[in-house]
Homo-oligomer: A and B are copies of this chain.
Amino acid sequence: MTTKLSLGLDFGTESVRAILVDLDGNEIGIATASYKHGQITETLPTTGEKLPPNFAFQHPQDWLDQAAQTVIEVLKSSGVSPENIIGIGVDFTSCTMLPAKSDGTPLCLLNEYASNMFAWPKLWKHHGAIKQTERMNELAIARNEDWLSRYGGVIGLEWFFPKVLETLEADADIYNATDIWIEAGDWFVWQLVGASKKFNKNDIPRSTCQAGYKALWNSTTGYPSTDYFAALDSRMANVVADKVPGKLLAPGELAGQLSESMAKTFGLKPGTPVASCIIDAHSGVPGVGAAEPGSLVMVMGTSSCHMLNSTQEQNVPGVAGVVDGGILPGYFGYETGQAAVGDAFAWLRNLLGHSDFKQLDKSAQEVGIGAGGVLCMDWFNGCRTPLMDGSLTGSFKGLTMHHHQGHVFRSILEASAFGFRWILDVLRDNGVDVTRLVATGGLPHHNPLLMQIYADVVGETIEVHPSTQGPAVGAAMLGANAAGSSVTGFDNMLELVKSMSSQQSPTKPIAHNLENHKAYEVLYNNYRSFADSLRS
């Protein structure tokens, strides 16, 4: 019997990885490639024009080129035949989005628009839409829009429509030239299944995950009304019908078959089933096999996202999104997040003149709980949950000339843990059960000190998932699901998740120390007061 494998493609902020997983959960091969253009935050690649400080783009050709590179590499290194691949799944950062023509060509790849910064894909962390987000929030509150409560009462700065409105206001020509506004993950799947002039625009695959968490979409009521958009800007009244067409599919539903030309580019078999995509963080929930209600999956990387399936639908103030079936069918998916985690640690490391974390981690360990009185507010990229305010900024206080780098660096680790504790408190205070904490992503494996601080601050055990490939494995699960039950032999996706996560090594529990937890209680209250004082 031929081994059945699924291919997961995991698109991060800096790189893409390809993973091959069989139906019993064995990881057969993996390959990673950094995007040629990385994050584009300083200058536009075409013109060298300096970007405003809060702008962040990516290059769409990188997504295709580096993905193809990893797929070719993983097939070669694992000796797997394309025939064995039963499906392809994709997870992607979000809301990373772009303007495209009706045939799928990104505007920035056309000579006519390449020198215009608004033609470029906006990376999730692009913060150019501060004013637009404010206006969208004010209007939604004034109009008493029902959908607002599902997002904790606040539209996020990094979401889909603020980014669209930003472009409309900054450069209406680009807005007008755009046929299709689309999430990068959906765009990539569209490319795989044959984006072209002939492709019916109403068949463009769009994930309910991306749409539900980032584009104000809901399974019952759809997107916000034309009235809302018209009140925002008359030119935008029909944005949904005109520029956001497509077919909404839950993650893992069949989006289409791999096209001839894409099969050639990737060295895969034409016709291979392709699944509707998922947000990278959300992919970690099935990816680490923690899909049961009450398990909070912490995907910790440049930023952190926390995902939770629940049987309860609660509107929690400041929680970024509650989407019915947003992660897996049959559950309400909750998403919360911290906007700057590994990214902020790396920024501070650079600021302190270091090229690696070794010495900083060591001295942060040595200075002990409380960082010698230095208190940090970790809003270096705004605050996602619970305040949903991208305009907030970071801070350090309590500094004296007796403090050294170890104190300052430890303070940012502690602040990150305090920020997570705040999120947990908000969920539970609003009636959402959280019974298990599972950490995954790059950070938990590289930084045991950080995880101990997190466990001590929350006063609970945190299980670190042994695979750093949670989201990638989750993507592979979606690909297998898209192949259908006749191929996989599984009746539903929960069974598939169970099997495909069964070979994972057991999670590593980080127990908390009770005495440390007590000491952190006081410091956590100081952190909360500090947050209040910075907002007053």
Which residues in A have some Cβ–Cβ distance to B below 8 Å? 41, 53-54, 340, 343-344, 347, 350-354, 372-373, 377, 380-381, 393-405, 408, 533-534, 536
Contact = CB atoms under 8 A, between A and B. Distances in A.
Nearest to A381: B401
A54 B393 contact: no
Contacts of A395: 395-399
Nearest to A398: B393
Nearest to A382: B400
Contacts of A372: 53
Given A393-B397, A393-B398, A536-B533, A351 B54 contact: no
Contacts of A403: 351
B353 A53 contact: no
Given A352-B351, A533-B536, A394 B400 contact: yes
A301 to B, nearest CB: 14
Given A353-B354, A536-B533, A400 B373 contact: no
A73 to B, nearest CB: 31
Given A351-B408, A352-B351, A533-B533, A394 B402 contact: no
Q: Give the number of times this chain occurs in the complex, counting copies.
A: 2
Contact of A396 (B347, B381, B396, B400): B396
A399 B408 contact: no
A343 B533 CA distance: 28
A373 B130 CA distance: 16
A401 B347 contact: yes
A343 B381 contact: no
A344 B344 CA distance: 24
Contacts of A350: 404
5 contacts: A344-B401, A347-B401, A350-B404, A380-B399, A381-B400
A405 B54 contact: no
Nearest to A346: B401
B393 A351 contact: no
Contacts of A399: 380, 393-396
A-B pairs, 5 with minimum CB distance = A353-B353, A395-B397, A394-B399, A53-B402, A347-B401
Contacts of A405: 351, 353
Among A343, A394, A408, A536, max chain B CB count under 10 A is at A394
A98 B216 CA distance: 70
A489 to B, nearest CB: 47
A344 B54 CA distance: 30
A393 B407 CA distance: 14
Contacts of A394: 397-400
Residue among A377, A381, A397, A405 having the largest count of chain B Cβ atoms under 10 Å:
A397
A536 B535 CA distance: 13
Contacts of A340: 401
A351 B399 CA distance: 11
Contacts of A344: 401
A377 B401 CA distance: 13
A123 to B, nearest CB: 13
A9 to B, nearest CB: 27
Contacts of A396: 395-397, 399
A404 B394 CA distance: 13
Nearest to A350: B404
Contacts of A534: 397, 533
A396 B372 CA distance: 16
Contact of A402 (B54, B398, B401): B54
A280 B78 CA distance: 75
A226 to B, nearest CB: 36
A534 B536 CA distance: 11
A394 B411 CA distance: 14
A41 to B, nearest CB: 8
Given A53-B372, A350-B404, 8 more contacts: A53-B400, A54-B400, A351-B352, A377-B397, A381-B401, A393-B399, A394-B398, A533-B534
A353 B53 CA distance: 24
